[in-house]
Structure 1
Amino acid sequence: MPQPLHMHIVVYSSMYCPACRRVSTELIDLCRQFDADTEVRDVLEHLEQAARLGIARPPAVVIDGRLFGQGNAVLGKLRRKEFA
């Protein structure tokens, strides 16, 4: 029987970003509910990675190495997403 895929989620945020401060706790809690390895990175400390991923507006969520969403809408988009 194949094992279920385990997701790796990275939340890129910044303490200088108003949207990040507003939603970061809720965003991180939601990511952890998906039973995924979740880590938080400061976008300013990881500028090269963020640029390679196409992140222009934090907060941003990267799932398994691919940009899922960014900016103010990422929390709502993540709530609607079904990982099946």
Structure 2
Amino acid sequence: YMVDAISQVKQYNKKGELIREITLPGVGTARGFGGKKDQTTLYYSFTNYKTPGTTYTFDVATGDSGVYRKSAIDFNSDDYTSEQV
């Protein structure tokens, strides 16, 4: 979903019942989460002004995310702040 121009991701079971809201790395845009029904790890990309093109893993059973691949851009996101107004 998009809420106020920000991605919001929710996980549902096959009956349409909400399992969890997926915590994203920040305010920004998430894409992906596609996969086959027997896969337990999915991949998604997340980007915002501080996180250029990072790919994450998502564990379907636990809801945990982790960094899979960071952009090779020489960029220190700690030097910047970003806020929605």
Mark yes or no: TM-score above 0.5: no
Which protein is richer in strand relative to its size?
2
Larger RCO: Structure 1 or Structure 2 (Cα < 8 Å, ≥ 6 residues apart)?
1
- Greater share of helix: 1
Which protein has the larger Cα radius of gyration, Structure 1 or Structure 2? 2
